[in-house]
Structure 1
C-alpha cells in the first residue's frame, strides 16, 4: 500500500513518456479519443466469449446445487452446443474457471448428446391461443402433452394438427433426470452442459490440499508477511489432511512460497507459518 501511494503521482508522467516514445507525439493529453467504429471488431470472438460465460455460469450453478465447493477439482465437463468448433481454443479458460480437469466439446446432433436425456418441451398458452383457436385450443393443448407436435424447417410450430403463432406457445429445452455421478444444466443460448460430479479419492485429496493452501494464505496475511516472503510451513491435521499435503506437496509449496513443508498429527486442520 505504501509503495502504491508513493508511485501514484508518478504514473501519469511515466505513461506520458512511454506514449511519446512509442508514437513521437507531443502529448497523449493532446490526442483525440479513439473512435469506436475505428477499432477492429470480431463478432465471432464476442459470440464465443458470450457462450463461454454461459457455460461457466451454468456449471457454477450445478456445483452449488450439488454442494461441490469451488476448490474441489472435478473430472470432466461436457459442453453440448450446435457449433462446437466455435468454442475450440477456449477449453482451458472454461476448465480454469470452473475447476475441472478436462472440457469436452460435443455437437448437439451427435448420437452421444441424445443419451443425456435432453429434450424439447412445448407448452401451449391457452389464454393467448384461445381467442384465435376457440374450442380447438384444447386439441392443441392435448397434442403438446401427448407428444403430437412438431417444429417445421421454417420454424412453424404445430400441435394437435393446429398451427400456432408466436406468443401462443413456449418451446424450451429441458434436461433429463440426472444421476449420482452427473448433473445437466441448460444454456440460455441453446445447448447444455454435463458435469461429472463423481469425486474420486484423488480429486478429494487435491481439493483438500487446495483448502490447505487457502488456510496458509490467510495465515500469511494474518502474520503480516509480504507477498514475496518465503516461509517455512507446518500443517497440522488428521490423516487425510497429512496424506493430501504429502501427495500435493509441490503444489502447496509453490502456491504458498514455502521452502519447507512439514505435517503433524492433530484433530483439526491448522497451519503455522514463519518467514524463512
Structure 2
C-alpha cells in the first residue's frame, strides 16, 4: 500500500472552511446542539474570560481549540453543554493603559478626573477589541455563546464572587497564610505573574554584587580535614548586599 499522500489539486481549504462556517451559521447548528438536548444531563462550561483591551494571538486559538474539543465531545455524548462566554474586565494593565491615554496618574483620579469618568474610560477601553475577538471566535469555528456573556465588572458577577467567598469561609475552607509577592508601590497593589510579563517590566541592568565569606565552625567539620578545618570558608554570592547584616543562617546543599 502506498504511503505517499496524493494531494487533491481541487482542494481549497479556506473556501471549504468558509462554506462550513456559513452552514453552521445559517442552520443555527450551535444553538441546535443545545436546544435539542433540553432536559439532558448538563455539562457546565464557563470560558476563562479573555480581556478585550488587547488583540488576540495564536495562543488564544490553540487554547480555544482544546476547550472546544471537550465541549464537542460532551455534546456528542448527549450532554447539554451551555457554553458561556465571558469578558475579563479587571486588572492593572487596563488601568495603567487608561491612565497613559488620559495623561493622568492614580493621584489625579478624584481631582483632575472624577471616579465616574475614570470608570467609564476603563469600561470603554476594556471592550475596545470585542469585534476582533468575535470575528476570531467565528473564524476559528469555536462554539461559545457570545450573545449573553458574563462580564466581570457587572455587579451581578462581583456579588456572586463575594457570595461564594462567604460560603467558602462559612465552611471553614479559607485559611490565612503568608507568602512573598511582588508589589508595586506606585500602583499600590500586588502584581500577578501576567502583569510582571508586561512590556517594560524587566530591564537588563548592571548592578553591584557581593561575594561574602562565612567561616565554618571547626568542631562541626569532619575529622579527616585535620588542621585545615580551622581555615574552611563558605562563599555566598548575593545581589542584595544590604541584607547581609540581617543574615541569621547559611543554607548549604550537597
Name the TM-score, length of structure 1 as normaliser.
0.23
Name the TM-score, length of structure 2 as normaliser.
0.24
Could you say which structure has the higher strand fraction?
1
